[in-house]
Amino acid sequence: MEKKNISIRYTIFVYFTVTALAASLLITFSLYQRLSSQVSEMVMAENQSLINQVARSVESYLRTVMKLSDSLYYGAVKNADLSSESINNEITLLYDNNKDNVDNIALFTQSGTMVETVPAARLKTGLPVTEESWFKNALEKTENQHFSYPHVQYIFDNNENQYRWVVSLSRAIELTEGTSTTQGVLLVDLSYSSLEHLFDGVTTAKGGYVYLISNEGEILYHPKLQLIDSGRLQENNMTAAGYKDGTHREEFEGKQRIITVKSIGYTGWKVVGVTPKNVISLNSIKTRLFIVFLITLILSVLALINSYISSRITNPIKELEKSVGILEEGNLETPVSIGGSYEIQHLGNSIKNMAKQIRVLMDDIVAEHEAKRKQEFDTLQSQINPHFLYNTLDIIVWMIENEQKAEAVKAVTALARFFRISLSKGKSVITVRDELEHVRNYLMIQHMRFKNKFSYEIHAEESCMELTSLKLVLQPLVENAIYHGMEFMDGDGEILLNVFQKEDNLYLTVTDNGLGMTSEQVAGLFSDQVSSTSKKGSGIGVKNVNERIKLYFGAAYGLTIVSEPDEGTTITIHLPAIPYGSGLEKDERS
C-alpha cells in the first residue's frame, strides 16, 4: 500500500492544537503579570506625585528665603548710607518675622569686617571670615544667590546661637558709605531643623524613604544621616545625582530599588525617593508560590508536548538545513537530505536541482572570467612591447644620425639581448634575474645616448633573483625616470634600482633625483589622462604596469609612488614573493 503524503500544514495543525490547549493555562500568568504591572505603575505614579510635592515644598521654602534676602538687600542695605545711619532696626524687624526659619543675619564688607549682625553680638576674635566657602562663593559669582551645604555655624561668639546646624545663603551686595560704594556680602543662616521639618514623616512605601542631595551628589538631608556620617550606612547618592527627573531602577548593595527623582529650580538640588522593589507586590508569599508551582507544571507539560512535536516536524528540516549550510560554504557536491513531509521532500529535491544548476553556472562564470582576464592581460602586455621597440629604435636612429656608429652597434647588440630575453618563449612571467637583465640592457642603451647625463646602480638581494616577476615592469618605470624625471634638470641624474624581500612580499624600487611631481601629477599617472610635461617616454607605462600586476596577482599588489617637486621620485613595485618554478609561470595567458 502506497504511503500517503502528509502535508506539513496538516502536521502543524494537529500537534499544535494540543499545544494550544495547554497554552491556555498561561492566561492566569498573563493576567497576573498585567495586574502586577498596573499595581507597580500605580505605586510609582504615587511616588512621583509625593516626590513632586516635597520638591515644591522645598522650592517654596528656598524662594521664601531668597525673597527675604531680596528684602534685606533692596529694602534695607542698598539705599542706606552706612557712614551716617544704622540699618540694625530694619534687619531686626525682618529677622523677627522669619526667626522660625532663620538663625542669623549678618552683613560683611569685602575685607571680612562685620557691619551688622542679628541676633548674634559679634564675631569670634581672629576668625578669617573671608576664608569661608559661603563668603568666597558670593564674591566669585556676584550675580547669584548661593546656598551652602549643611554645616555648623561657628563664626559668631554668642552662646545662644553657637554651634548650630545651618544652611547658609550668601550673596554679593553693594555697601554705600558717604560718596563711595564698595562690595560686601550678605549672610542669612537658615535653621537646618526648618529644612528637616519639610521631610518629617515623608515615606514612599514600607521600607522607603526620601532624601535631598545637591547637584553634585552631596547629601543635604537624609533620615539616617548620622549613620551615613559614621560610616555604618551607605547611600547611592552619587549615582542618583546623575539621574534625570523621573523614575529609575537600580541595584544597590545587592537589592533592587525604584528611584524617583525631582530637581528643585535655581539650586539644582534633587529630591530622591527610594522604594524597595520587593515592596511593590500584588499578593502574599503563598499566592506567589502557588503561581510559581502552576507555571512550573504548565511549562513541564508544554516542554514534553513540544519535544514530541519538534521531533516529528523539525528533524527533517534541520537535516535539510545542515545540507544547505554545507552548500553555502561552497561544497556544491554534498548530498542533500530529503525526508519528512511531502512539502519538505519537494523542497529538498528543489534545492538539490538548484545546486546542480549553480555548479553549471559557476563553471561558466569561471571560464568567462578567465577568458576576460586573459584578454585584458594580453591587451596590456601587447601595448608595452611595440612602444618599447619604437623608443629603442628611435635611440639607435639618433645615434646613426649623429655618426655614433660604434655606439649604435652596441645599442643594437644590447637590443638583441634584450629581445632575446624579452621573448621568453612567449611567457609573461619570468625570473627577477631576467627582468633585471632586461632593464640593465635598456639602461646601457640610454646611457650611451645620454653620455654624462645620468648614472645608474642596481642593487638586488641574491635571495630575490629566482623569485617570480612579470615581464617588462621595470623598463617603463626607468624610461619615465629618464624622460620625465631628468630631461629638464640641471646636473647629473641618478637612478637607483633596489630589489628586496620582506616576509612574503617582493619589492622592486626605482628611485631618481629628478624634478619630481606634484600629487596631482602622480594621480594623473594612474588615470586615463596622462599628465606629463615631456612628449617622450612611456606616457602609458605606469598605468600599464600597475594594471598588469593587479590583473595577474590581485588587487592587493601594484605600484605606489612617492614624489615631491625638486626632490625626486620613488616608485615601488609590490609583488608576492613566489619562487619561480612553483607552477605560477605555467598558467600563462597564451
pLDDT tens for each residue of 244-270? 988 888 888 888 888 899 998 888 899
Does residue 543 register a pLDDT over 80? yes
Q: What is the pLDDT of residue 271?
A: 92
pLDDT band at 22 (very low <50, low <70, confident <90, very high): low
Q: What is the pLDDT of residue 531?
A: 44
Does residue 108 register a pLDDT over 60? yes
466 plus 403 within the same structural domain: yes
Q: What is the pLDDT of residue 535?
A: 44
Summary mean pLDDT of the chain: 79
Within-domain flag for 312: no
Complete DSSP assignment for 167-194: EEEEEEEEEEETTEEEEEEEEEEEEHHH
Does residue 411 register a pLDDT over 90? no
235 CB-near residues (< 8 Å, 6+ apart): 211, 219, 222, 228
Domain range enclosing 158: 78-195
549 plus 436 within the same structural domain: yes
446 plus 528 within the same structural domain: yes
Does residue 533 register a pLDDT over 50? no
243 plus 374 within the same structural domain: no
CA distance 132 to 28: 64
Does residue 299 register a pLDDT over 70? no
Q: What is the pLDDT of residues 438-451, one digit of tens each?
A: 888 888 877 877 77
Q: What is the pLDDT of residue 47?
A: 83
Determine the average pLDDT of the residues in 461-481. Answer: 88
Say which range, 167-176, 339-348, 421-430, 514-523, has the weakest mean pLDDT. Answer: 421-430
Does residue 8 register a pLDDT over 60? no
113 plus 238 within the same structural domain: no
Within-domain flag for 296: no
Task: Indicate the residue among 195, 211, 244 that finishes a domain.
Answer: 195
pLDDT band at 154 (very low <50, low <70, confident <90, very high): confident
- Yes or no: say if 353 and 338 are a contact pair by the CB < 8 Å rule: no
Q: What is the pLDDT of residue 586?
A: 46
Within-domain flag for 309: no
Determine the average pLDDT of the residues in 518-536. Answer: 67
Q: What is the pLDDT of residue 534?
A: 42
210 plus 136 within the same structural domain: no
Say which range, 3-7, 94-98, 354-358, 418-422, has the weakest mean pLDDT. Answer: 3-7
CA distance 304 to 324: 29
pLDDT band at 505 (very low <50, low <70, confident <90, very high): very high
pLDDT band at 508 (very low <50, low <70, confident <90, very high): very high
**pLDDT over 90, % of the chain:** 12
Does residue 76 register a pLDDT over 80? yes
Q: What is the pLDDT of residue 504?
A: 92
Determine the average pLDDT of the residues in 448-470. Answer: 86
The single-letter code of the amino acid at 582 is: S
Within-domain flag for 564: yes
Nearest in space to 501 (alpha carbons), one of 555, 547, 465:
465
217 plus 90 within the same structural domain: no
Most confident of 184-188, 194-198, 585-589: 184-188
- 3-state class of 572 per DSSP? strand
DSSP E strands in 432-552: the ranges are 454-460, 468-470, 493-502, 505-512
Residue 480 or 588, more confident = 480
Residue that has been written with the C-alpha cell 507586590 in this structure: 281
Q: What is the pLDDT of residue 429?
A: 84
Does residue 39 register a pLDDT over 60? yes
How far are the Cα atoms of 63, 186, 244, 378 from residue 297, in angstroms, in the given order?
Answer: 60, 72, 43, 76
Does residue 3 register a pLDDT over 60? no
Within-domain flag for 324: no
Say which range, 1-10, 201-210, 447-456, has the weakest mean pLDDT. Answer: 1-10
Task: Indicate the residue among 215, 244, 279 that finishes a domain.
Answer: 279
The most distant pair of C-alpha atoms in the chain lies apart, rounded to whole Å, by 126
DSSP E strands in 346-463: the ranges are 429-431, 454-460
Q: What is the pLDDT of residue 159?
A: 56
Does residue 557 register a pLDDT over 80? yes
How far are the Cα atoms of 266, 343, 426, 437 from residue 465, in angstroms, in the given order?
Answer: 81, 64, 20, 11
Residue 44 or 187, more confident = 187
Query: Is there a cis peptide before residue 119, judged by omega within 30 degrees of 0?
Result: yes
Q: What is the pLDDT of residues 558-581, one digit of tens each?
A: 999 999 888 889 999 999 999 988
Starting at the edge strand found earlier in the chain, the sheet holding 270-276 runs 219-221, 209-213, 270-276, 255-263, 246-252
Q: What is the pLDDT of residue 380?
A: 53
Cell of 546: 600597475
Nearest in space to 506 (alpha carbons), one of 474, 540, 534:
474
Residue 432 or 415, more confident = 432
CATH number of the domain enclosing 47: 3.30.450.20
52 plus 129 within the same structural domain: no
Within-domain flag for 273: yes
- 3-state class of 216 per DSSP? coil
Does residue 462 register a pLDDT over 80? yes
Q: What is the pLDDT of residue 479?
A: 85
Say which range, 6-20, 58-72, 117-131, 158-172, has the weakest mean pLDDT. Answer: 6-20
Residue 471 or 301, more confident = 471
565 plus 502 within the same structural domain: yes
419 plus 553 within the same structural domain: yes
Q: What is the pLDDT of residue 12?
A: 61
Does residue 538 register a pLDDT over 50? no
pLDDT band at 590 (very low <50, low <70, confident <90, very high): very low
Determine the average pLDDT of the residues in 131-139. Answer: 88
- Yes or no: say if 431 and 466 are a contact pair by the CB < 8 Å rule: yes
89 plus 132 within the same structural domain: yes
Q: How many CB atoms lie within 10 A of CB 15?
A: 16
CATH number of the domain enclosing 463: 3.30.565.10
- How many domains does the chain contain in total? 3
Q: What is the pLDDT of residue 400?
A: 85
Within-domain flag for 545: yes
Nearest in space to 475 (alpha carbons), one of 382, 527, 523, 538:
538
Q: What is the pLDDT of residue 1?
A: 42
Q: What is the pLDDT of residue 255?
A: 86
Task: Indicate the residue among 279, 312, 339 that finishes a domain.
Answer: 279
522 plus 408 within the same structural domain: yes
Within-domain flag for 174: yes
The partner residues of 146 in beta bridges, in order of sequence, read 170
